[in-house]
C-alpha cells in the first residue's frame, strides 16, 4: 500500500473535520443497517480524535461496543477515469466501512492504515455517503488483548495495559486518486560502505502493466542515480547519509510509463543508513549509537489519541530542548506523520506493535491482578498469535521505508518465563526477521522475567528491559535500589547483547516537595533518575536509556493512578517537572 500523496498524477482530499456520530452500545446499527440512511439522532464528532473525552458523559468515556461515523463526500469532478481509494490511517480497534449502501472494507487493529478501492462505487462530480462503524472491544483475540465483562447486564471493558482505551478515528481520513495503472507498493533498503551508498528498490505495479524507471534526487535537488525496471540497486558514490541528529533525505522518484508516456509518478523519501548489532554494540552507519530519550504515548487532553500536528511538533521541540535523540512508540504504532518528522530531523525510533498486556498477573503496575495462565486456550492462544502476526506484517509494511526506525519491538512486557511464552514468541520473531532482515528485533522484558529466567530474550537481537527500582521495587530506598539495579543490568549485559533500559522512572505530582526521599515528590523523581544514571554509566554493554514517560498520560482508574500515570517528565499539558531540567543537564550538558 503506497502512502497517499499529491503528485502530477495523484491527488488527495482530506475528509478530516466534523462527522455525524452516534454511539451504539446495544449493537443495533449492524442489524438495522444504519449505513443505508443518514444517522438518526447524531451529533458532531471531530476527526481525527478519540470520541471518549469530547462529550462530558460516562456513556462516551466508558463506552464499550460500536460507534458510527458518517459524512457526505464530494468526489472531485476532475477524477474521471482515475482509480479512487478511500483511506483510513487508523480506526481503533476495528472498523467496517460503507460507501452509500455497499460495504467496502473491514479492518482489525487500531493503529495501522487500511483502504478500499471505491472506483466502481463513486462518481466524480457527485457526492457519496461514507459510513464507518468502529468498535473498541478488546478480547483475547485482539491486539492488545482484553476482556469484556458482563456486570449484571452492564458491559465493562477490562485490559491489562496501563493506558486509557481511547477509540475512534484517531488519524486522518482521505479520498485519493491514482491512475488505474499505478505504483501499488514500494520497498526500499539502503546500504553504506566506505562512503558509497546503495539504495535497493522494489516497485509493485498495480492495475496493469507498465515500465518502471526511478531517479534518486538528493536534498539539493541533484539527480544522483537513475535506474530502470521494477527492482534494482542504485549506487551513490560519496553519498550524504542519514544519521542521528541529521535527517538528510533523498527522494526516490518512481515513474511508470506505457509506450513512452508517463502514467504515474510518486516519491519516496529515503535516508541512506545502516543499522547493525555487533556484539554488545548498537551501530548506526557503523558507529556506536546510545539511545537517550523516552517511552511516549499518543495522548492529550480532549483529543485523547487523535493525531494533532501542533502537539506533535511541540513534543519534538521539547525532545530537542531536553537533548533526546530517540523514543519508542510505546505501546502501538504511532501516526505516520510522527515517523516522517523523525526521518526529517534525525530522531531514532524503536517501533512497537500494539502487543501490550499479554501478561495476566500484571495490571497497571500491580502484580497478582489475575491468576490465570497468560497463554492457554481460554486466554492468549494460537488465534491471538495470528492476529499478532498480522499486526507485525502491517507494522513492517507501513514503516519499513522510514530511516528513523532502527528496531522492531514486537511486544511490551509479555509474560516470558513459561515454555508457552517461548512457543508463542519464537515464530513471531522469525516472521519479523523474514519480513525485514535489515533491522534488529526484540521484545521488551519486564522484571518478573530476569536474566536467566526469561525464555524469550535469547531469541532477540537486542535486550530491552523495563525496570522500576526505586518505585515498584524498593520505593523510597534508593540505596537498595541502586544495588539491585546494578546487579540486574550486569546480568543482562553478561548475555552479550546490547542492553537498552526502555523504561525507568517514578510518578511525581508537580508541586509536591520534600527533603527526604519521598515518592511522588518532584525531588524524588529527580533522585530516582540520578541513581539510575549512576548505574547506567557504570555498566558496559548498556546502549541506551529511555525514561518512562515523556509526559503524564491517561489510564484506566485505579488506586495507583492519580488522574492517570504521572511518571511524565512533562505534565500532560507539557509543562516541565523538576526532572526535565535535570535530564537536560545530563543530555545537553553544554546547553
SS3 513: coil
For position 466 contacting ligand GCB by CB under 6 A, the verdict is yes
Nearest to ligand GCB of 160, 273 (CB atom)? 160
Q: Is residue 353 involved in binding ligand GCB (CB under 6 A)? A: no
Residue 386 Cβ, how far from ligand GCB at the closest point, in Å?
A: 24
In the list 504, 548, 550, 570, the residue contacting ligand GCB (rule: CB under 6 A) is: 548
CB of 566 to ligand GCB, least distance (A): 9
Q: Is 565 in the site for ligand GCB (CB under 6 A)?
A: yes
What residues numbered 119-178 form the site for ligand GCB, per CB under 6 A?
Answer: 162
As a whole number of angstroms, the distance between CA 395 and CA 186 comes to: 15
Tally helices (H) and strands (E) across the chain. Answer: 9, 32
Q: Does 361 bind ligand GCB (CB under 6 A)?
A: no
Nearer to ligand GCB, 374 or 412 (CB): 412
Query: Where are any strands of DSSP class E within 384-498?
Result: 405-412, 441-445, 463-466
Check residue 567 for interaction with ligand GCB (CB under 6 A). yes
Residue 445 in the binding site for ligand GCB (CB under 6 A): no
| Residue 277 bridge partners (DSSP) | 282
Would you say 327 and 387 are in contact if contact means Cβ atoms under 8 Å apart?
Answer: no
Dihedral sign for Cα 408, 410, 415, 421, please.
negative
Residue 466 CB, nearest approach to ligand GCB (Å) = 4
114 versus 548: smaller Cβ distance to ligand GCB: 548
Nearer to ligand GCB, 2 or 138 (CB): 138
Catalytic status, residue 413: yes
Q: Helix 309-322 to helix 336-345 angle, to the nearest 10 degrees?
A: 40
The Cα 135–Cα 63 span in angstroms is 10
Site for ligand GCB in 247-286 (CB under 6 A): none
Site for ligand GCB in 179-218 (CB under 6 A): none
Which of the residues 108, 115, 298, 413 is marked catalytic?
Answer: 413
Nearer to ligand GCB, 63 or 161 (CB): 161
Q: How far is the CB of 556 from ligand GCB (least distance, A)?
A: 11
Among 503, 517, 522, 552, which residue sits at the site for ligand GCB (rule: CB under 6 A)?
503
C-alpha to C-alpha distance for 197 and 187, rounded to whole angstroms: 16
CA distance 449 to 138: 25
Q: How far is CA 567 from CA 55, 102, 105, 547, 577, in A?
A: 27, 46, 39, 9, 10
Q: Which residues lie below 8 Å from residue 557, measured CB to CB, with a gap of 6+?
A: none
Catalytic-role residue among 298, 352, 503, 545:
503
Does residue number 365 form part of the binding site for ligand GCB (CB under 6 A)?
yes
- 25-64 positions binding ligand GCB, by CB under 6 A: none
Closer Cβ to ligand GCB, 20 or 503, answer by number: 503
**C-beta of 162 vs 482, nearer to ligand GCB:** 162
Residues with Cβ within 8 Å of 2's Cβ and at least 6 positions away in sequence, in order, are 178, 182, 183, 184, 185, 186, 266
**CB 332 to ligand GCB: min, Å:** 11
Question: Which residue matches cell numbers 485505579?
Answer: 558
Residues 392-421 that bind ligand GCB (CB under 6 A): 412-413
Q: In what order do the strands lie in the sheet with 287-288?
A: 275-278, 281-284, 287-288
Nearest distance from C-beta of residue 94 to ligand GCB, angstroms: 22
Long-range pairs, 27-32, Cβ under 8 A, ≥24 = 27/65, 27/66, 29/66, 29/68, 29/133, 30/66, 30/133
359 belongs to the binding site for ligand GCB (CB under 6 A): no
Output 18 or 367, the one with its CB closest to ligand GCB: 367
How far apart are CB 564 and ligand GCB at their closest, in Å? 10
- Name the site residues for ligand GCB (rule: CB under 6 A): 162, 331, 365, 412-413, 446, 466, 503, 548, 565, 567
Residues designated catalytic = 413, 503
Amino acid at each position: 500500500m503506497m502512502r497517499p500523496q499529491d503528485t502530477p498524477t495523484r491527488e488527495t482530499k482530506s475528509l478530516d473535520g466534523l462527522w455525524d456520530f452516534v454511539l451504539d452500545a446495544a449493537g443495533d446499527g449492524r442489524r438495522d443497517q444504519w449505513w443505508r440512511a443518514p444517522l438518526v439522532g447524531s451529533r458532531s464528532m471531530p476527526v481525527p480524535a478519540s470520541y471518549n473525552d469530547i462529550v462530558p458523559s460516562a456513556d462516551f468515556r466508558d463506552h464499550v461496543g460500536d460507534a458510527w461515523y458518517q459524512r457526505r463526500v464530494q468526489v472531485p469532478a476532475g477524477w474521471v477515469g482515475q482509480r479512487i481509494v478511500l483511506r483510513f490511517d487508523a480506526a481503533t480497534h476495528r472498523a467496517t466501512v460503507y460507501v452509500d449502501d455497499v460495504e467496502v472494507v473491514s479492518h482489525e487493529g487500531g493503529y495501522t492504515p487500511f483502504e478500499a478501492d471505491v472506483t466502481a462505487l463513486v462518481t466524480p462530480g457527485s457526492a457519496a455517503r461514507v459510513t464507518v462503524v468502529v468498535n473498541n472491544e478488546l478480547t483475547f483475540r485482539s491486539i492488545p488483548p482484553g476482556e469484556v465483562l458482563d456486570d449484571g447486564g452492564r458491559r465493562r471493558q477490562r485490559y491489562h495495559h496501563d493506558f486509557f482505551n481511547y477509540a475512534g478515528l484517531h488519524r486522518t481520513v482521505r479520498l485519493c486518486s491514482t491512475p488505474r495503472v499505478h505504483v501499488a507498493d514500494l520497498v526500499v533498503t539502503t546500504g553504506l560502505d566506505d562512503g558509497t551508498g546503495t539504495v535497493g528498490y522494489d516497485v509493485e505495479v498495480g492495475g496493469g502493466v507498465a515500465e518502471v524507471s526511478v531517479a534518486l534526487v538528493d536534498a539539493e535537488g541533484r539527480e544522483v542515480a537513475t535506474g530502470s525496471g521494477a527492482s534494482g540497486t542504485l549506487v551513490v558514490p560519496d553519498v550524504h547519509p542519514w544519521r542521528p541528529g541529521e535527517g538528510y533525505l533523498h527522494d526516490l522518484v518512481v515513474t511508470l510509463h506505457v509506450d513512452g508516456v508517463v502514467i504515474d509518478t510518486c516519491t519516496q523519501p529515503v535516508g541512506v543508513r545502516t543499522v547493525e548489532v555487533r556484539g554488545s554494540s548498537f551501530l548506526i552507519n557503523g558507529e556506536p549509537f546510545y539511545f537517550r530519550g523516552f517511552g511516549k504515548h499518543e495522548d492529550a487532553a480532549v483529543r485523547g489519541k487523535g493525531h494533532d500536528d501542533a502537539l506533535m511538533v511541540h513534543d519534538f521541540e521539547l525532545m530537542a530542548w531536553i537533548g533526546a535523540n530517540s523514543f519508542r512508540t510505546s505501546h502501538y504504532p504511532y501516526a505516520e506523520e510522527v515517523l516522517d518528522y523523525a526521518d526529517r530531523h534525525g530522531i531514532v525510533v524503536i517501533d512497537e506493535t500494539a502487543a501490550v498486556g499479554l501478561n495476566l498477573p500484571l495490571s497497571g503496575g500491580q502484580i497478582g491482578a489475575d491468576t490465570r495462565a497468560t497463554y492457554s486456550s481460554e486466554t492468549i492462544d494460537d488465534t491471538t498469535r495470528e492476529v499478532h502476526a498480522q499486526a507485525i506484517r502491517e507494522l513492517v509494511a507501513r514503516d519499513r521505508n522510514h530511516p528513523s526506525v532502527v528496531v522492531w519491538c514486537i511486544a511490551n512486557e509479555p509474560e516470558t518465563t513459561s515454555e508457552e511464552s517461548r512457543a508463542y514468541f519464537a515464530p513471531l520473531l522469525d516472521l519479523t526477521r523474514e519480513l525485514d532482515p535489515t533491522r534488529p528485533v526484540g521484545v521488551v522484558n519486564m522484571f518478573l522475567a530476569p536474566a536467566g529466567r526469561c525464555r524469550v530474550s535469547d531469541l532477540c537481537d537486542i535486550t530491552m528491559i523495563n525496570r522500576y527500582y526505586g518505585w515498584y521495587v524498593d520505593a523510597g530506598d534508593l540505596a537498595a535500589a541502586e544495588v539491585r539495579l546494578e546487579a540486574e543490568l550486569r546480568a543482562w549485559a553478561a548475555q552479550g547483547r546490547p542492553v537498552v533500559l526502555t523504561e525507568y522512572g517514578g510518578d511525581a505530582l508537580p508541586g509536591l516537595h520534600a527533603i527526604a526521599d519521598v515518592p511522588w515528590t518532584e525531588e524524588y523523581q529527580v533522585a530516582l533518575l540520578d541513581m539510575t544514571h549512576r548505574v547506567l554509566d557504570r555498566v558496559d554493554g548498556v546502549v541506551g536509556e529511555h525514561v518512562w514517560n515523556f509526559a503524564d498520560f491517561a489510564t484506566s482508574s485505579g488506586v495507583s493512578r492519580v488522574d492517570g500515570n504521572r511518571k511524565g517528565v512533562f505534565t500532560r499539558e507539557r509543562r516541565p517537572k523538576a526532572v526535565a531540567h535535570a535530564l537536560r543537564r545530563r543530555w545537553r550538558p553544554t546547553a
